Amino acid sequence: MWLYGIHAVTAALGNPNRRLRRLLLTEDAESTILSRLPHPWPTQAERTDRARLDQTLGRDAVHQGAALLTDPLTPPSLAQALERPGPVLVLDQVTDPRNVGAIMRSAAAFGVAAIITQERNAPDETGALAKAASGALEKIPLFKAVNISRTLVALKAAGLWCIGLDADAPPLSGPALSDRRVALVLGAEGEGMRRLTRETCDTIVGIGQSLAMESLNVSAAAAIALYEITRKA
């Protein structure tokens, strides 16, 4: 798979768990990445131009002059993911790779331990997802579960308090959760959480917002909820 964009490529070059195959950079992109990640790099760069990158990646790819051919990361087990501190994010059939990438970026900013998606009805690791994640794909473990509701049961057994996000529920309060480790569950764009997912959560909460807007984009809702969860007072 091709990763592209300055942040995504720089982060992947600095990740020892990545298996790298080919690095294509324009002169400007190489200079920018060097200012953020000095040599040595784990693979040698090939000088190229934007026209060649457009042809390789497609004109819709906002590559910023940088592209990296790499193998997908090996996902961790749930037990390995939970060894990291912080809340856990569970995405119930969130399918837009750009939304998942944006959620990963917020997750990295707020110290999330891991993100769990469904094995089906969730995007694979792609260049578009990595670009939207702006380097967070290399920092936040992405675990794929066969069954979300059973995974929530496993999270509960591990001591996490599972809270589902819904626009019509009572407002989320971070300080009220200060003594709990939380798993935040977000549903699909439009449909929200599925019935069994909702029923398996310990509680359902919302985000206080103006009545002028019915709901938020799932990535925006995730960022606000993560801020609130990590707010202790």
Lowest average pLDDT, out of 145-149, 159-163, 188-192, 201-205, goes to 188-192
- Residue 179, burial from CB neighbour count under 10 angstroms (0-12, 13-18, 19+): exposed
* Domains of the chain from N-terminus onward: 2-70 (3.30.1330.30), 78-230 (3.40.1280.10)
pLDDT of residue 211: 53
pLDDT of residue 210: 55
Mean pLDDT, the chain, as a whole number?
A: 92
Asked if 199 and 232 touch (Cβ cutoff 8 Å), the reply is no
142: left (phi over 0), alpha (psi -120 to 50) or beta: beta
- Residue scoring higher pLDDT (230 or 157): 157
Q: Is the pLDDT of residue 214 over 80?
A: no
- CA neighbor of 106 nearest in space, from 18, 228, 189: 228
Give the predicted TM-score (pTM) of the model: 0.90
- Tokens read off for 65: 């002059």
Q: What confidence tier does 21 reach under pLDDT thresholds 50, 70, 90? A: very high
Report how far Cα 168 is from the mean position of its chain's Cα atoms: 25
Strands (E), the chain: 2-4, 20-25, 45-47, 66-70, 88-92, 114-118, 142-145, 160-165, 181-187, 203-205
pLDDT of residue 192: 85
How far is 56 from 48, CA to CA, in rounded Å? 11
- Residue scoring higher pLDDT (123 or 12): 12
pLDDT of residue 94: 92
CA geometry: angle at 13 spanning 48 and 128, to 5°?
70
Q: Is the pLDDT of residue 202 over 80?
A: yes
Q: Is the pLDDT of residue 172 over 70?
A: yes
How far is 142 from 62, CA to CA, in rounded Å? 23
pLDDT of residue 190: 76
- CA neighbor of 232 nearest in space, from 177, 189, 193: 177
Residue 69 phi/psi, 5° resolution?
A: -85, 125
pLDDT of residue 13: 97
**Average pLDDT score over residue span 102-111:** 96
pLDDT of residue 201: 97
pLDDT in tens, 32-76: 999 999 999 999 999 999 999 999 999 889 999 999 999 999 888
CA distances from residue 142 to 33, 34, 64, 94 in whole angstroms, order as listed = 25, 28, 25, 13
- Tokens read off for 78: 């749930």
pLDDT of residue 212: 47
